Amino acid sequence: MADPVTKHPTLIEGARASRTSIALKFLMAVSGLVFVGFVLGHMYGNLKAFAGHDAFNEYAHHLRELGEPMLPHEGFLWIMRVGLLVALVVHVWAAVALWRRAQKARPIKYVVKKHTGAIPASRLMRTGGLTILIFLVWHLINFTIGKVNVQGGETDDPYNLLVDTFDVWWMTLIYLAAMAMLGAHLHHGVWSACQTLGITGTAQSRARAKTLSLALAIVIAGGFSLVPIAVLAGIID
């Protein structure tokens, strides 16, 4: 018998805050927000395409010189890349851990199940995340690592690569589909991150987080989609 005076009675010995499912969620939320920051910046960069060939390339070039001479050439870029990579590993790892936990928590499914109270986006997180992951692999091959020009044109001019890519209707389609998924991911994700970080303690702040979430989803998914659409429509060429 434990001594109730000296010991705080509990069933589980040595529970640690850092080992809980909520800690996993913190990682998920923080890494997710890192992504949000990145895509916002990235989207801003992409929109430079509307300013024309030179402005866009200038921007890409500028990115590589950012922080010089404090940082070596491409220093900022690499810091960002490492940061993103870490975030990616953490985000995906936590996502998989939570997913498996959920799988185990309900081994037998319902015959009939309604989803009252859930926005559709919330239930698309996992498929959505996976889609984004696959998209990302292709995207990096497309623009950064492999520099694949589906039209066979030049690859070392970012602007031209971009235009060549989205001149192909199915490439645009792939990107737009991915952006739809990203939008959905953010529609739930941003709200979810606020909730996870515990800043939605009142009905009012909850409503605000939901609005923010929707707004960011539209801005980001919409902002990214503008360039491919504009290219396909011939506004950018």
Return the residues of window 179-198 that contact another protein according to CB under 8 A: 188, 191-192, 195-198
What is d(CA 208, CA 48) in angstroms, rounded to the nearest whole number? 30
Q: Which two tokens stand for residue 29?
A: 């939320």
- Which backbone phi and psi does 136 adopt, to 5 degrees? -65, -40
Q: Which residues bind ligand HEM (CB under 6 A)?
A: 25, 28-29, 32-33, 35-36, 39, 42, 46, 60, 63, 77, 81, 84, 88, 91-92, 95, 122, 125-126, 129-130, 132-133, 136, 139-140, 143-144, 158, 162, 175, 179, 182, 185-186, 188-190, 192-193, 196, 224, 227-228
Task: Please tell me whether residue 76 adopts helix, strand or coil conformation.
Answer: helix
- Picked from another protein, ligand HEM, none, the partner binding residue 137 (CB below 5 to 8 A depending on kind) is none
Which amino acid belongs to residue 58? Answer: E
Contacting residues for 177 by C-beta, under 8 A, at least 6 apart: 131
149 binds, among another protein, ligand HEM, none (CB under 5 to 8 A by kind): none
Enter the DSSP assignment of 70. T
For tokens 């859930």, name the residue.
118
Tokens of 236: 């950018």
Closest CB to ligand HEM among residues 3, 171:
171
**Binder to another protein among 70, 152, 170, 201 (CB under 8 A)?**
201
The closest alpha carbon to 186, from 46, 32, 27, belongs to 32
Q: What are phi and psi of 156, to 5 degrees?
A: -95, 5
| The entry of ligand HEM, another protein, none that residue 228 binds, CB within 5 to 8 Å by partner kind | ligand HEM
C-alpha distances (whole Å) from 130 to each of 27, 66, 125, 133 are: 18, 32, 8, 5
Q: Is the peptide bond before 228 cis (omega within 30 degrees of 0)?
A: no
Q: How far from chain centre, in Å, is Cα 117?
A: 24
User: Nearer to another protein by C-beta: 5 or 70?
Assistant: 5
- Cβ proximity to ligand HEM, 188 vs 210, nearer residue: 188
Which of residues 24 and 161 has its CB atom nearest to another protein in the complex?
A: 24
Query: Residue 15, interface with another protein (CB under 8 A)?
Result: yes
- Which CB, 82 or 212, lies closer to another protein? 212
Q: Which is nearer to another protein, 51 or 212 (CB)?
A: 212
Binding site for another protein (CB under 8 A): 1-2, 4, 7-12, 15-26, 98, 101-102, 104-119, 122-123, 125, 188, 191-192, 195-203, 205-206
